[in-house]
Structure 1
Amino acid sequence: MSLTYFRITLLRSAIGLPRRSTDVLKALGLKKRMATVFHPVSPSVAGQIMRVKELVSVQEVDQALTKQQVHLERKPDPGYYVEKSSVQERGEMLGQ
């Protein structure tokens, strides 16, 4: 049996909300907007999520990603690609 995880992303800030909501977010490990954390699926974590369901986005995933993997997943495409490096181009010019 494989372990599944909740992928929890904080979408809205808890500013101005009751202390209880802020404390639940701290317990989940969410400090900043758009931060993502992974927790094993369990009734206690599900209860915490229900307390702040308006503030977070939740997905059930098969494996937890590292912080770096989450960052690379969110990183946009640069919008360009390199056909040839300058070294290759220089070599072609000298070869002619």
Structure 2
Amino acid sequence: MSFFRITLNRSAIGLPARTRGALSALGLRRRTQTVFRPVNVSVAGMLMRVKELTAVRRE
């Protein structure tokens, strides 16, 4: 099974609630935190919402 390696690079301070909600759903709370999530459509949709804030690699 493959995973996305997601790292939060920029803070969510001052951003809309939907953007902050997507980060929360991905499990990202603080800058430079890294999480692994499975590759699926719902995770990909959340990543599209926060693409400017994160760095993503597929592993």
Report the TM range for the smaller structure's normalisation: over 0.9
Specify every segment of 5 or more residues in structure 2 that has no aligned partner in the other structure, as ranges. none
Higher helix share: 1
Larger relative contact order, structure 1 or 2 (CA cutoff 8 Å, min sep 6): 2
Matched, 1:43 2:41: yes
**What SS does the corresponding residue of 2:19 show, helix, strand or coil?**
helix
2:21 is paired with a residue of what secondary structure?
helix
TM-score computed with the length of structure 1 as normaliser: 0.61
- Name the Cα RMSD after superposition: 0.4
Which of 50, 53, 56 pairs up with 1:52?
Answer: 50
Q: String of CA shifts for 1:28-78, please: whole Å, max 9, x gaps.
A: 0000000000001001100000000000000001xxxxxxxxxxxxxxxxx
Identity value in percent: 59
1:9 Cα offset (Å): 0.2
- Pairing 1:3-42 to 2, within 5 Å after superposition: 3-42=1-40
- Bigger-Rg structure (1/2): 1
Question: Number of residues paired by the alignment?
Answer: 59
Q: Structure 1: which 5+ residue stretches go unaligned? A: 62-96
* TM-score w.r.t. length of structure 2: 0.98
Structure 1 moving runs of 4+ over 4 Å: none
